[in-house]
Structure 1
Amino acid sequence: MKRLVCSFLVLVLFFGMMTPVFGQGKGNSSTTSSNVDVLKLVEPYVELQEDGTLALEGVPRGLYQAFELENLEYHFDQINKEVLDGNLVIDEELNISETGFSTFHHAGYGSWAYHWWGYQRLFNNSQANEYSSHLRDRAAGAAMVTGVFAKFPPISGIAGVSSGYWALLANRVDANNNGNGVQVSVTWVNVFSVSSL
């Protein structure tokens, strides 16, 4: 009975996180708050291994299924390959940075930053306008022709999402870009949040 109640609560939290993403309105604070709640639930199970790679350890089955953590493990596989190839390094706080002179673990203008939970990027006003245009092209199926794949985060399954996803993301970018730009975050299950800068 305890397991059933626990699984139900996890599902309630999961669907509570997903619903605001598709809601209307200009603000996005409930989405960001829900995403943070999910990250807090999952993060205790994220382990830094002795070889410097990431792994999930001891995740309850209900949590694993509810939050599609197989996609997170696929995301870890991508990060871990870069770690083992010497391109990325992960510290004890799970911050991810490029080797060399850059500090890639902080979202910056012009490139996607790696996080254990997904990717993040800052866009200034003109970049946000261009990004929104690229998203609309992607929604219309024109991204293959325009060659704008670098604009999209390398999250697992991101290429397989519907055109409605790209259009919704474009709308959120437009709604939150008040002339100062936006911050876009995308989790391992392609849940995005967009906030004004």
Structure 2
Amino acid sequence: MASATRGKQLWLIPVLVVVLALTAVGALIARDRYQEPEEPPQETTVLPSTTSIPPAARPGSKTVVGTPDATGHPLYDQTRALLQVFFDAINAKNYDHWRSAVTRERAEQQPESDWLKSYQSSRDGSIVIYRIELGQPGTARVLLSFVSTQDVRDAPPELPVACIRWHVVFALTVEEGTWRVDGGPTGTSPQHEEC
């Protein structure tokens, strides 16, 4: 009698395996069918290019992107987000937003009235991070380029043109636990040429 009961119970094992397998397959199909489609990722990696931007499209995309060298750095995502705030603030002429991306010292060196005058006609784009290097603890340097367009009267005195391609090194510093764009000697001698 015990062996008859055991024989009746053994046929349940394959049935349970089949039921569990069908349940798992059904769950996977349902997940794929009803899952929200992912938005395509925004392209944030570029290869260096010397192609000039047509005059009508200048200054180019306002989205900060990076080269493969930069995007492979562990600090890239934070750096890209920080520089996006920095350049968005300049393009929107939003001093408070810009101040949120820079150190207190840098903000003190450029009060709002001076800042607004400096960027009154400036529009920045084609922003590319080429390299990120860590320095002393809590510091980093970022090599980047961007294009600015501005009224000729607002251009630097040494290059009075409407479109400038800038090559700069920004100093970054951790302030109150957050990376910020700092002032200092690395950002004071940028290379620049007419677009």
TM-score, normalisation: structure 1: 0.27
Larger Rg: 2
Question: Whose strand fraction is larger, Structure 1's or Structure 2's?
Answer: 2
RCO higher in 1 or 2 (8 Å CA, sep ≥ 6)? 1
Question: Whose helix fraction is larger, Structure 1's or Structure 2's?
Answer: 1
